Amino acid sequence: MPHAIIFDMDGTLFQTEKILEVSLEETFVHLKDSGEWSGETPLQKYKKIMGVPLPTVWKTLLPHHSEEIRQQANVYFLEKLILNIQKGKGALYPQIEGTLEALHKEGYSLYIASNGLTDYLQAIVKYYRLDRWVTETFSIEQIDSLDKADLVAAIQKKYVFTEGVVVGDRLSDIQAAKKNGLTSVGCRFDFAQEDELAEADHVINDFSSLSEVIRTIEKIHA
């Protein structure tokens, strides 16, 4: 039985799309005002790399800028994301709360492992009270390597389990499961890519089917 279930946050539990565009636009307006940017906000470029650690995001979006400017943009962007979460502009995906509650009642230990930064993740957890069901939320900034596989390994080490499921929308989630001997469930949501989902053990189109997939996994491991 997979006693533990590890969830990604962005594009899996949280509809990042709802606050992404406005927060990114606000950040690039700020960069324009300070003379560091001209042209349109590179929203589509960000969507293509959604899910990677933020240092990689800013190297991609600002390839010709200094590390200092990238860091300033990162800080400003994070502030805007958190503010928009607190304003209620974001949303969880449908069926998230009911599914998490049901899995928690069934005795599963639930965790979040995300490439997002700690303050951002805690803003989401606090606003939606996810800690009612989630044991602990882990950020990639807790891991020197910035590798999600290492983050999942740290969760396994802390909570001592060898069987479990990683639920996420990107290849980093799927690879994190495989590298740690866990089962991967890919989410065909906003930022998912079909070539990446092809690597997952199971794929869901919405959270209403997750419990059924978990039961299937249980039978396999029985």
Report whether pLDDT(20) > 80. yes
Asked if residue 52 lies in contact with residue 116, where contact means CB atoms within 8 angstroms, the answer is no
Task: State the chain's mean pLDDT as an integer.
Answer: 93
Q: Are 124 and 15 contacting, i.e. CB atoms less than 8 angstroms apart?
A: no
Reported as a pLDDT band with limits 50, 70 and 90, residue 1 is very low
Mean pLDDT of 37-53: 85
> 4 is written with which tokens?
């533990």
Question: pLDDT, tens digit, for every residue of 61-115?
Answer: 999 999 999 999 999 999 999 999 999 999 999 999 999 999 999 999 999 999 9
Topology of domain 4-15+92-221 in CATH is Rossmann fold (3.40.50)
Is the four-CA dihedral 157, 161, 162, 168 of positive or negative sign? negative
Rg (CA), the chain: 17
> Do 189 and 210 form a contact (C-beta atoms < 8 A)?
no
Average pLDDT over residues 194-213: 95
Compute CA distances 104 → 13, 94, 164, 199, whole Å: 15, 17, 14, 27
| pLDDT above 90: residue 222 | no
Domain ranges of the chain: 4-15+92-221, 17-86
Provide the pLDDT for residue 2: 52
- pTM for the full predicted model: 0.90
